[in-house]
Amino acid sequence: MTKSLPKLVLSSSRDIPFSQLVLSQKNVRRVKAGLSIEDLADDIYHRTLLQSLNVRAMVDADGNETGMFEVPAGGRRFRALELLVKSKRMAKDQPVPCVVREAGIAEEDSLAENVMRVALHPLDQFRAFSALIETGLSEDDIAARFFVSVSTVRQRLRLPSVSPSLLDVYGEDGMSLEQLMAFSVTDNHARQEQVWEQVNQGQHVPAYHIRRLLTEDAIAANDRRVRFIGIDAYTEAGGYVMRDLFSSDEDGWLQDPALVELLVNEKLSEVAQEIGGEGWKWVEAAIDLPFGCERGKRRITGTTIPLTDEEQARLDALIEEYDAIGEQYRDGCDLPDEVDTRLTEIDAEMTPLTSRPVVFEPDEQARAGVFVSLTHDGRLRIDRGYVRPEDELVAEDADMPVGAEATQVSGPAITVSGQAQNEQAVDDEDDAIRPLPDRLVCELTAERTLALRDALANAPDAAFIALLHALCLSVFRSLGQSGCVQIGVTQSWLGNATPSLRESVWSTKIQARHEHWAARLPDEPSGLWAALVALAYEERMTLLAHCVSLGVNALFEPVKGYDGRISAHTVAQRIKAANALSTVVGLDMAEAGWTPTVDNYLGRVTKPRIIEAVREAKGDATAILIEHLKKGDMAREAERLLKGTGWLPEPLRLPVIEPGEEDIAELPDFLVCDGDAELAEADDAYAIAAE
C-alpha cells in the first residue's frame, strides 16, 4: 500500500504597510536588466500592483518578531513603490499585498521567483495587442502603457499577414521569430507556405534568405532607380510596396518593376528635355550607359564664369569667417548651437560662389551632346560636351555660319533607354532622303556581322590575312586604330624586372626586326590590308611570327595576396605554357648566348648555390677548390669555371620529357603548385630570387 504524499500548504498572505517593509540583502538580483524602475513605478501607478511581494518577518537577537518585514523576492517592485512614496504618489503607510514566508531559504525564494518566470510568447503578445486594439486603444497608447516602441507594436500587429499554418509552426517552436517576421513581407499565404516547404528541408535558414525568395521579382527600396524617383512617386502612381516586420517606412520592396521603369524613363526624359534646352545637338539618357560610350568622341571644354569683384570679396569674407571659427574651436569641443547654425549658413552661401556654371562656345555646343545616367546611389550623372566623329566640322563646312547646323533640326535629338523621344523635324519635301536611324543601322550591321563570321570561318586564307591585319594594327598602329577583327597583342612590360634588358642581344634583334617591318608597312592604316595581300606567303608568315612573339610573357611574378590579383596557380600555368613553347621552338638559353656571371646570377645567390652550380658543371673535385673563398672571390672564380660549360640555373632549363609522356613539359620543382602547397612552394621561389 503506497504512502500518500503530504498536502501542500500555501504561505499566508496579508496587507502590510509599506513603512514596515525593508529591502533584504538576500535578494539575488544584482545586475540591472529589463524595464527600468521608473517605468515600473509608472506602470504600478497606472494599474496598481499586480503581483504580491514575498516577505519574511524580521526578528531580534532573542528571536522575537520586530514588526518589520524584509523583502527577499520582489526587490524591483519594492524599489518602484519606494519611488512612488518619494514622489508623493503613494502614502508611506499604504498597505501592500504580501506573501509571508516562514520556511525555506530566502535566497532560494529570490532565485526561484526569477528563474521560474517565463517571458510572454510573442504570439501571445500579438494576440493581446490585437485584443487591446479592439477595445479602442491606439498603437501609441499600447506602446506607452507597456513601455515598448510603437514600431514593436506595429510589428506584432502585422503578424496576421502570415499564414495561420505558419503561425502554428511558430507557436510550436518550429521556426524562429526572425523567420516568422520575414514571411510578413507578402500577404500571399500560398507563396509563404510554398517557400516554407522549400526551406524547411535543411537546417536553420536565415531570415534574409526567406525574404529574398519572397521578393525575388520585386525591386528593393534602396535600389538606385527607386532612390531616383522616390517611393512616394511610385505609390502615388498606384504601386504597392511590400514590407516585413523588419522594415521601416523607408524600406521595403516594390512589386511593380514595369511601373518603376516607366517612372524612371519619364523622369529621365524630363531631365533630358531640360538639358537639351541648353543648346546641345543630342542628349542620350539611360539608367546605365554602355561602358566606353564616350570612346571615339572628342570632349569639348567650357569656360567657368568668373566671379565679379563683389562676389570674390564676399567669398573671401566668408572663408575668413569660417577659418576664424575653426581656429576658435579647434580643440574639438562641441560647438554651440548658434555657431553650428552659422557654419551651415556660411556653407550654403559659399556653395554657389565656389560651384560656378560652365559655358561653351555656341558653335561647338551646337554639334556636341550630353550623356545622362544614374550613379550607384540614384543621383544624376551628367557628362556634357561630347562630339561624335560624324558631327565634326569638315573642310567643306568650314565656312558654314555659326549655328547653321542647329537650324537643320527642330531641337536636340533625345534618346532615353535606347528609345528616341523626339524625331528630327521632317523636311517639307516628302521625297527627301534622310539618314537611317542609329537603331536600325545597329540591327542591320549585327546581322552582317554574323554572316561575315560564317563566311570567314569557311575561308582560311582570308582568315589568316584578317588575323595578320588585326595583329599589325595592334603592334604598329596601337593608338586609336582598330579593325573589324577584335584580336590584339598584349605586351608585358619587362623593364622593371631587369633594367639592362634593352641592351641584350635579343632586344637588339627584336628592335631591328620591328623597325624593318614598320618601314615596309604603309603609314596610313587604310592601305594596310592591300599591303598584306601583296606580301608573299613566306613574308606573311614572318610578319605574323614577329607580331605574335611580342605577346609572349614567360615572366615569373611574386605571388600577391587575394586583392593583388596574381595567384600562384596563374603564375604556374604561365610558366608551364612557356616551357611547352620553349620545347616546341627548341630554345636552349646556353646556346642562345646566356652564361652565368657575377652580375646576372652568381653575385646574387648564396655561397651554397654557387658551390652547387660548380659541382653540377665541373664535379665535386672542382667545387671543393672554391669552398674556402669569400663570397665575392667565390663568385668571380665560379664565373671563370662555368664559362663555356652550358650550365643554366633551374628557371632557364628546358624541361626533360621522357618518352611516352605528354607533349606539354612539366613544371620545374620550384614552381610546382598543388593544393595547399601552392603558397609554400611559391615562397621557395621567393627564396631563390631573394638570395
Greater model confidence, 388 or 480: 388
104 and 127 together in one domain: no
Is residue 258 within 8 Å of residue 234, measured between CB atoms? no
Per-chain mean pLDDT for the chain: 76
Among 3-12, 443-452, 545-554, 661-670, whose mean pLDDT is lowest? Answer: 661-670
Question: CB atoms < 10 A from the CB of 51, how many?
Answer: 11
Pair 299, 385: CB distance under 8 Å: yes
Domains of the chain: total? 5
Residue pLDDT, tens place only, 253-276: 787 888 888 899 899 999 999 988
Does residue 618 belong to any structural domain of this protein? Answer: yes
Using the 3D structure, point to which of 53, 83, 115 is the last residue of a domain.
Answer: 115
Q: pLDDT, tens digit, for every residue of 491-537?
A: 766 655 565 666 677 777 888 888 888 888 887 777 888 888 888 98
Q: Are residues 254 and 359 in the same domain?
A: no
Number of helices (H) and strands (E), helices first, in the chain? 27, 16
Q: How many CB atoms lie within 10 A of CB 381?
A: 11
Whole-number Å distance between alpha carbons of 136 and 106 = 43
Cell of 647: 650550365
- pLDDT tens for each residue of 181-234: 778 777 778 878 888 887 876 667 787 787 777 777 778 888 889 899 888 888
Pairwise CA distance, residues 276 & 372, whole Å: 11
pLDDT of residue 112: 67
Residue 371 DSSP symbol: E
Task: Show which of 226, 260, 294 is a domain's final residue.
Answer: 260
Q: Is residue 206 part of a domain?
A: yes
Let me know if residue 4 belongs to a domain.
no
Residues spanned by the domain of 472: 455-535
pLDDT of residue 428: 40
Query: Within a domain: residue 228?
Result: yes
The torsion angles phi and psi of 142, rounded to 5 degrees, stand at -65, -45
pLDDT of residue 282: 92
End-to-end CA distance of the chain: 94
Out of 209, 226, 260, a domain closes at 260
Read off the pLDDT of residues 111-135 as tens digits, 9 standing for 90 and up: 666 655 655 666 667 777 777 777 8
Based on the domain organization, do 111 and 137 belong to the same domain? no
**Residue 548 belongs to some domain of the structure:** no
Do residues 282 and 377 both lie within one domain? yes
Sheet containing 95-100, strands listed edge to edge, beginning at the edge strand earlier in sequence: 12-17, 95-100, 53-59, 65-73, 21-23
Same domain, 365 and 490: no
Q: Are residues 386 and 292 in the same domain?
A: yes
**Does residue 210 sit in the same domain as residue 285?**
no
Distances (CA, A) of 174 to 163, 171, 213, 286, 633: 14, 7, 19, 47, 80
Both 297 and 413 in a single domain?
yes
Tell me the pLDDT band of 667, cut-offs 50, 70 and 90: very low
